[in-house]
Structure 1
Amino acid sequence: MDFFPFLLSFIFIILHLSGQRVVRGEDDIQHHHHKEPITKLFVFGDSYVDTGNLNKKGFAPSWKQPYGVTFPGKPSGRFSDGRVLTDYIAEYLNVKLPASYSKREYVAPHQLKNGMSFAFCGTGVFETLNQGPNMTTQIDFFQKEIEDKVFTASDFINSVALVSVAINDYNCYTTKNGSIEGLPSFISSVVNQTIKNVIRIKELGVKKVIISNLLPLGCLPYETTLSSFKQCNETTNNLIVTYHNTLLTEAVKKLNQQIEDHSSSLFIVLDIYDSFMWVLKHPSTYNINNELEPCCIGVSSKYFCGMLMEKVKMYKVCENPESALFWDMGHPTDAGWHAVYTRLRIMNALENIYDH
C-alpha cells in the first residue's frame, strides 16, 4: 500500500525537474546575449545609419520638418520620419545610442560610454557627389579618437561596429557615366575597398563588424517613380545589387575562414536585402499598405521632402507614415526600418553577434 504513494511522488518529482530543465533551456535561448553584453557600438556609413552627424546649419533636409515627425517628434538629423537602422541595432544590443562624432565636443565624457557614430549622410566607399566624408575618412576620425585616448583597449572588449555603405557610390557612378559600361569592375572595386575598410576597423580594436549588404535599390522610390511607384526596377537590382551582395558575401566568408579561431565569425553580413524583399512581398504582415510610394514627396519633380519656397511647403506628407515603407525618395520610414528589423529578428540574423 505504501508503494503507490511513493511511485506517484517519484513521478511528480521527475516531471517537475524535467519541466524546470525545459524552462531553463528556453530562458537560456531567449536571454543568450545577456551572458556577454555588448558595451559599445561604433557606426560607419551613410544616411541609413546616420543619427545626426550632418551639419544642421547647411543644406540638410534631415534637420528640417517634417523629418522626425514620428520620432522624436521633431527633426533630429535622421533621414526618416523616425528611427533608422542604427536605432534598431542599438536596441537589439541593449546599448544606448552612441554619440555622434560631430557633437563629440559638446557631450560629457560619460556619454561616450556607448561608443560613437562616424556615419554621415551622402558618404560612400569612395568620394561621391555629396560632401560627407567617405568611409576611409570616417575610420581616420575613429583612429584619431583612439590616439587621443578617448577610447582605449578596455573599451573594445565587448564592442561591435555597424557598417552601411556603397549606395551613394553607385548613384555617383551612374550619374557620372550615364551607362552601365565598366560597372562590374567598379562593383568589384567597391567591395574590395569595403573589405579593406572593415579589416582596418577590426585592427583598430573592434571585436566584431556587422556589414550591411545592399537593399533592393531598384525598389527605392527614385527608381520606381518611372512606373508611378507600381513596380521595382529589376534591371538595377540584377545588375548592381545582386552582384554586389554576392561578391560581399563571398569576400566576408573568405575573410572569416582566414581567422585562426573558427568558433565565431568576426565579420557578419547583415542581409538587409532579404529582409526588405520579404517585407515588400508580405507588407500586410507589418501593417504596411503602401510599399513603393514615398510618404513625403515634392509637389512636383522640382521639389523634395522638407523643401520650402518663401516659407511655403513644397512637399506633401501622407496621412499615416506608419503604413508606408518609404519616407522620401530614398529612405525607409520608421515603420519600414522596424519591419526590416523584425524580419531580421525572426530569421535570427543578428544572433552571430553574440557567438564567441
Structure 2
Amino acid sequence: MKPMLLFVLQIFMLLFNLSVSIPSNYTSIFSFGDSYTDTGNLVILYGVSSTPGVWIAKPPYGMTFFKNPTGRASDGRLAIDFIAEALGFPLLPPSLATTNQSFRQGVNFAVGGATALERAFFVDNGFKAVSPFNISLSVQLGWFDALKPALCSSPQACQEYFAQALFVIGELGWNDYAVMLLAGNKSVDEIGSHVAEVVGKICAATEKLVSDGAKAVVVSGIPPLGCAPGNLALFANQTGGEHEPATGCLKELNLLSKDHNQQLRRALARLDARHPDARIAYADFYTPIVDFLTSPDRYGFNGKSDGSALKACCGGGGPYNFDLTALCGMPGVSALDPPSAYVSWDGVHLTEAANRRIADGWLTGPYAHPPILSTY
C-alpha cells in the first residue's frame, strides 16, 4: 500500500472509529490462540448442551453485534473479526465446526484456555487450573497440518497457497501465567522464570508456519495482566498489592507482561532477520490497553476518576465488578450499559469497542510493528 494512501486511511479510521474493508493481496487468513481469538472452538469442545461452566455460551455474551452468544469471549466482535472484515474476508469459522463449509478463505484454530506450553507441563507440575482439553499451541498446529490436504494438493501447492495467506498467532501466554498464579503457591518472580519457555514455544510455532510457506505472520503480545479487573480482584495480596499510580493496575503483574512482550518482540526480530522473504509483525496488546486506562475519555471509555475504567462491564459487583460466584453469563448477572463505555467486558476479556480500537491499531498503526496494512 502506498504511504500516502495508508496515511489517509489511518486518519479516516481514527476520526470515524471505523474498521473499513479495503482490497488486499491476501487470499485467506489462518488464526491460532486462546480466548482472545477463539470464535467458537471452546464451546464446540464442551458441547452447547453441557456447558454449565462455559459462561461464554450464555447471554449477555454476544449482545452488541451478534445479539446472541457465539462462543466469543466478548459482547461482540474480537480483534481477529475486525482484521478479517478490514481485509474483505468473512468472519473466520472455528476449525472444530462440523457444518459443511469450506475453509479455503481461512479458519480459526484458537481455543479458549489454550496455553503456549504443553498441557503435560501443567499436569506434571500439579497445576489444577489447566484446561481439561489438550489445546496447546502445538496441538492447534497439528489441527492445521491435518487440514492441509483439504486446502492444497501437494507440498509445493501448499507453499504457494500459504504464501498468499495472512497468519495470526493471537494472544498466548496469559493462560500459562494465570494457571500458575491460580495455584497460589508461586511468586510472580517464580512464574517469570518460565517466560523464556513460553516465548520459545510461540517463536517455534512462528518459524514452523514460515517453513510451511507463510510469508506474512502477525504475532500478538499479551495484555497488561495487572489491569484485568479479575486479576485486580483475585491477586492483589499474592502480588504484593502495589498499584501503578498512572493506571491503578497491579505493578508486579504488569512487569511480568512487559518481560514477556520484550522477550517476544526481540525473539521475533531475530526470527524475521533469519527469514528475509517473510514478514513477521509484532502486534502490541499491552500499550493500547494502558492508553485506554490512562486517557479513557480520549478513547470513548468511562473516566478513571471513580475507578470505572478498571471495572468489568459484565459481572457480579465489587470494586472491579468481578466476583467468582457471579461471573458474566451466570444466571442473574447482567451487563452495564452501554458496553462500549468499558474496556473490560467480563473481567478478563475485552469489549467489542476495545477490540475494534486494538485491531485498527494493528492494521494501520501504531500498535503493530510493522502494521498489517503497511506492506503486502
- Calculate the TM-score normalised by the size of structure 2: 0.78
Query: Of residues 329, 337, 340 in structure 2, which corresponds to 1:322?
Result: 340
Tell me, in whole angstroms, the C-alpha distance in 1 between the residues paired with 2:5 and 2:253: 44
Give the aligned partner of residue 162 of structure 1: 168
- CA displacement 1:77-104 (0-9 Å, x = unmatched): 000011111111212322222221111x
SS at 1:67 equivalent: coil
Shift of 1:28: 7.3
How far apart are the structure 2 equivalents of 1:95 and 1:174?
38
Of the candidates 62, 69, 83, which is equivalent to residue 89 of structure 1?
83
Note if 1:336 corresponds to 2:330.
Answer: no
- Distance in 2, matches of 1:48 and 1:143, equals 22
SS in 2 for 1:141: helix
Counterpart selection for 2:101 from 84, 88, 108: 108
CA contact (8 A) 2:284 2:367 kept: no
Matched letter for residue 242 of structure 1: K
**Following the alignment from structure 1 to structure 2, what is the Cα–Cα distance between the partners of residues 66 and 223?**
21
1:276 and 2:289 matched: yes
Q: What secondary structure is seen at the aligned counterpart in 1 of 2:281? A: strand
Consecutive unaligned residues of structure 2, counting only runs of 5 or more, are 11-20, 123-129, 303-307, 318-322
The farther-off stretch of 30-39 and 278-287 is 30-39
Distance in 2, Cα, partners of 1:303 & 1:347: 37
Indicate whether 1:267 and 2:276 are aligned.
no
- Structure 1 distance, partners of 2:81, 2:230, is 24
- Structure 1 residue 339 displacement after superposition: 2.5
CA RMSD of aligned residues (A): 2.6
> Given residue 348 of structure 2, which amino acid in structure 1 is its aligned partner?
G
Does the CA contact (< 8 Å) of 1:85 and 1:337 recur in 2? yes
SS in 2 for 1:303: coil
CA distance 1:333–1:36, shift in 2 (3 Å): closer
Q: Whole-Å Cα distance in 2 between the matches of residues 144 and 41 of structure 1?
A: 17
Give 1 or 2 for the bigger CA radius of gyration.
Answer: 1
Question: Structure 2: how far apart are the matches of 1:98 and 1:155?
Answer: 17
What residue number does 2:40 align with?
52
Change in 2 beyond 3 A, CA 1:61/1:115:
same
Question: Does the CA contact (< 8 Å) of 2:226 and 2:250 recur in 1?
Answer: yes
Distance in structure 1 (CA, Å) of the matches to 2:330 and 2:338: 20
Cα displacement (A) at 1:69:
0.6
Higher RCO, 1 vs 2 (CA within 8 Å, ≥6 residues apart): 2
Report the more deviating stretch, 175-184 or 25-34.
25-34
Task: Classify the secondary structure of the residue corresponding to 1:162.
Answer: strand
Equivalent residue for 1:213? 221
Aligned to 1:252: 268
Which residue of structure 1 aligns with residue 112 of structure 2? Answer: 121
Which residue identity does 2:284 align to in structure 1?
Answer: D
Q: Secondary structure at the match of 2:151?
A: coil
Pairing 1:141–2:143 present: yes
- For residue 185 of structure 1, the aligned residue among 184, 189, 193 is 193
Alignment counterpart, residue 300 of structure 2, candidates 287, 293, 310: 287
The 5 Å alignment of 1:188-199 reads 188-199=196-207
Q: Distance in 1 between matches of 2:6 and 2:63?
A: 38
1:291 Cα deviation (Å)? Answer: 1.7
Change (3 A) 1:136 1:182: same
SS in 2 for 1:131: coil
Q: In the TM superposition, what is the alpha-carbon distance from 1:214 to its structure 2 partner?
A: 1.1
From the superposition, tell whether residues 325 and 139 of structure 1 become closer, same or farther in structure 2 (CA, over 3 Å).
same
Q: Distance in 2 between matches of 1:317 and 1:50?
A: 21
Residue in structure 2 matching 1:304, options 303, 319, 327: 327
Aligned-partner Cα distance in 2 for 1:25–1:123? 37
Which stretches in structure 1 are left out of the alignment for 5+ residues? 1-23
Q: CA deviation at 1:178?
A: 2.9
SS at match of 1:276: helix
Greater fraction of residues in helix: 1
Name the % identity: 26
Alpha-carbon distance in structure 1 between the residues aligned to 2:168 and 2:274? 21
Per the alignment, do residues 301 and 121 of structure 1 end up closer, same or farther by CA in structure 2, a change over 3 Å counting?
Answer: closer
1:249-276 C-alpha deviation (Å, 9 max, x unpaired): 1101111111244xxx521110121122
Cα displacement string for residues 5-46 of structure 1 (whole angstroms, at most 9, x for unaligned residues):
xxxxxxxxxxxxxxxxxxx98447658996752111101010
The 1:355/1:73 distance shift into structure 2, 3 A limit, reads same
> When the two structures are aligned, how many residues end up with a matched partner?
319
In the TM superposition, residue 193 of structure 1 has moved relative to its aligned partner by: 1.2
Q: In 2, are the aligned partners of 1:43 and 1:118 still within 8 Å (CA)?
A: yes
* Cα distance change, pair 280–29 in 1 and its aligned pair in 2 (3 A): closer
Contact 1:222 1:329 (C-alpha < 8 Å) held by counterparts: yes
1:107-149 Cα deviation digits (max 9, x unpaired): 333xx23211000000011226113411100000000111x33
Are 2:22 and 2:87, in contact at CA under 8 Å, matched by a contact in 1? no
* Ranges of 4+ aligned residues in structure 1 off by more than 6 Å: 31-35
Instruction: Kindly provide the CA deviation profile for residues 138-188 of structure 1, in whole angstroms up to 9, marking residues without a partner as x.
Output: 000000111x33345243231111112110000012223432353333111
Contact 2:224 2:289 in 1 (8 A): yes
Once the 2 structures are TM-superposed, how far is the Cα of residue 65 of structure 1 from its aligned partner? 0.7
Give the aligned residue type for 1:91: E
* Separation in structure 1 between the aligned mates of residue 282 and residue 57 of structure 2, nearest angstrom: 30
